[in-house]
Amino acid sequence: MTKYEAVIGLETHIQLNTTSKIFCVCKADSWNDPPNTNICPVCTGLPGVLPVLNQRVVEKALLLAVAMHAEIQPESYFDRKNYFYPDLPKGYQITQYDRPIALGGWLDVPVPASPAGGAYIRRVGIAKLHMEEDAGKTRNAGHLRQIDFNRCGVPLIEMVTNPDLRTAAEAAQYLTRLRQLLRWIGVSEADMEKGHLRCDANVSIRPAGSQVLNPKTEIKNVNAIDAVREAIEKEFERQVREVEAGHRIEAWTLDWDEEAQVLRKMRSKETEADYRYFREPDLLPVCLTQAQIDAAAQEMPERPLDRRARFMETYQLPEYDAEILTAERQLSDFFEAAATAYGDEPKKVSNWMMNEVLRMLNEQGLTAGELRLQPAHLAEIIQLVDDGAVNAATGKALLAKVQQSGRSPAQVVADEGLARVSDDSAIRAVVEAVLSESPKEVESYRAGKVTLIGWFVGQVMRRMGGKADPALARSILEELLR
């Protein structure tokens, strides 16, 4: 039996996180706003209005182009894509067609090991990257439709990959890494649930190893990374069944039904020529000077995967740690600042980050940049534990107290008297009291139930407000219980 491989290209629409829309001054983000409340004569296509391009849209497009290693075009143009649809009040979408802001580029996508094989890097080529406006929203209401124009004119970047992806898992990884990058460079919130990152997938199949490109189908309306993986997998299997049965693959457009987890055939696609593209006469070209392009390159931070590699190299972190710490840019900045402040043993800082700091972020729903706990505070707390000034449990509690109060760890220790009691006599007095009050437990322990030692240590710690050195408490207990 022939072995087939999938040939997959992804078309992504990325909603930029600007304050205002692309061609008018309406608020861009309408999440949670009532329908038709962020609209104006420009975005609803009333007669006699003129679009004016938002400077931040160009800057963000430029930054993304740099991040994708794309060739930035010094001169690019907007065009009208004409079609009639109720959520497009002008009757055309302003987009970039044959002269987009950037061409080419790539994203390197690490694909983790799976039962199918070891880990590898897939380089995904980018065909083009362009700016455009979004359309409104249509909602089904009985046999009529309701239209909300709030989303009209929201800035989008459309980015089209080459047909370089070979499996559904690779496509999912591409989206995961793209989402990480978009947040990292701050051009989009990239929240798929809110439609900030939308994806259409072009899928065809061929015998493994062949170089031909067969007719493809286009999967639309997938708005979660797992759904993209699922939908491509299903479509790949369907095409294999069709070809094996001697049928031809037709260039269908398929709609992913999330609830039923099935693909349904949509209307046959209008051909390119039917859009009757022509230059948008109301807008000037986008002209970029070398200085602007250089400035974007300057603004480009270290990319997440480069930082991940550097963390493994410079700090000798395991890949697992480096991956988690570079999931988000502010988190990686936090780690690096704390590791620098602490000085040596970055792995120890990493452990505190991955256990304590990440738990705090998850519990409080914060990002690393929003913490009152500063990287220097974390380094100081780890140092306090190292020096034996506080025990490990107190150190962890200190994190929460610093976060809550904004005071420095040393200040909290002084204010609350948290310094560890390693004074033998003070602990000894408490141990004696505990033993005299717990005759039954003492009897069981001496009869051989030595696991009770943990309970005794707990009693001592509780009475001393957690300040006792637990190792010292344990050795005194063992001595007196003998």
Which residues here bind other proteins, judged by CB under 8 A? 18-20, 24-28, 34-41, 43-44, 52-58, 75, 77, 82-86, 139, 141, 143-149, 267, 274, 276, 279, 281, 283-288
Return the number of the residue (51 or 304) whose C-beta is nearest other proteins. 51
The residue (of 242 and 255) whose beta carbon lies closer to other proteins is 255
Q: Which is nearer to other proteins, 19 or 355 (CB)?
A: 19
- Distance in Å, CB of 83 to other proteins, minimum: 8
Among 127, 134, 86, residue whose Cα is nearest residue 107: 127
What angle (nearest 5°) sits at the alpha carbon of residue 144, between those of residues 143 and 145? 130
Residue with tokens 């430029």: 62
Query: Torsion angle, CA of 87/88/90/95, rounded to 10 degrees?
Result: 160
Report, in Å, the least distance between residue 27 CB and other proteins: 4
Compute the least distance from the CB of residue 54 to other proteins, in Å.
Answer: 5
Q: Are strands 197-207 and 137-141 parallel, antiparallel or unpaired?
A: unpaired
CB of 40 to other proteins, least distance (A): 3
CB of 77 to other proteins, least distance (A): 6
Nearer to other proteins, 281 or 439 (CB): 281
Task: Report the alpha-carbon distance of residue 262 to residue 235 in Å, rounded.
Answer: 9
Q: Cβ of residue 279: shortest distance to other proteins, in angstroms?
A: 5
Q: How far is the CB of 178 from other proteins (least distance, A)?
A: 23
Whether the CB-CB separation of 395 and 384 falls below 8 Å is answered with yes
For other proteins, the closer of residues 57 and 373 by Cβ is 57
> Which of 74, 60, 252 shows the shortest CA–CA distance to 157?
60
Structure tokens at 456: 């005794």
Q: How far is CA 474 from CA 3, 373, 427, in A?
A: 64, 32, 10
d(CA 350, CA 334): 10
Quote the CA–CA distance of 278 and 255 in Å, as a whole number.
29
- Residue with Cβ nearer other proteins (130 or 303): 130
Distance, CA of 418 to CA of 391 (rounded, Å):
9
Separation between Cα atoms, residue 228 and residue 252, nearest integer Å: 17
Closer CB to other proteins, 97 or 352, in the complex: 97
Distant-in-sequence, close-in-space partners of 171: CB < 8 Å, separation ≥ 6: 8, 10, 165, 201, 228, 229, 232
- Nearer of residues 38 and 188 to other proteins, judged by Cβ: 38
Q: How far is the CB of 91 from other proteins (least distance, A)?
A: 9
Q: Which two structure tokens, joined as six digits, stand for 39?
A: 């609209």
Closer by beta carbon to other proteins, 77 or else 315: 77
Handedness of CA 453, 455, 458, 459 (dihedral sign): negative
Q: Specify whether the CB–CB gap between 178 and 107 falls below 8 A.
A: yes
Residue 23: CB minimum distance to other proteins, A:
9
**SS3 labels along 124-159:** EEEEEEEEEECCCEEEEECCEEEEECCCCCCEEEEE
Nearer to other proteins, 51 or 346 (CB): 51
Q: Which is nearer to other proteins, 20 or 173 (CB)?
A: 20
**What residues are paired with 165 via a beta bridge?**
8
Tell me the two tokens of residue 19.
Answer: 């304050």
Which of helix, strand or coil describes residue 161?
strand
**CB 24, min distance to other proteins, A:** 7
Task: Please identify, using beta-carbon distances, which residue of 224 and 283 lies nearer to other proteins.
Answer: 283
The CB-of-202 to other proteins minimum distance in angstroms stands at: 21
Q: To the nearest whole angstrom, how small is the minimum distance from the Cβ of residue 49 to other proteins?
A: 11
Q: Is 65:293 a contact under the CB 8 Å cutoff?
A: no
Kindly state the helix (H) or strand (E) to which residue 262 belongs, with its residue range. strand 262-265
Strands 217-222 and 253-257: parallel
Residue 9, φ and ψ in degrees, nearest 5: -125, 145
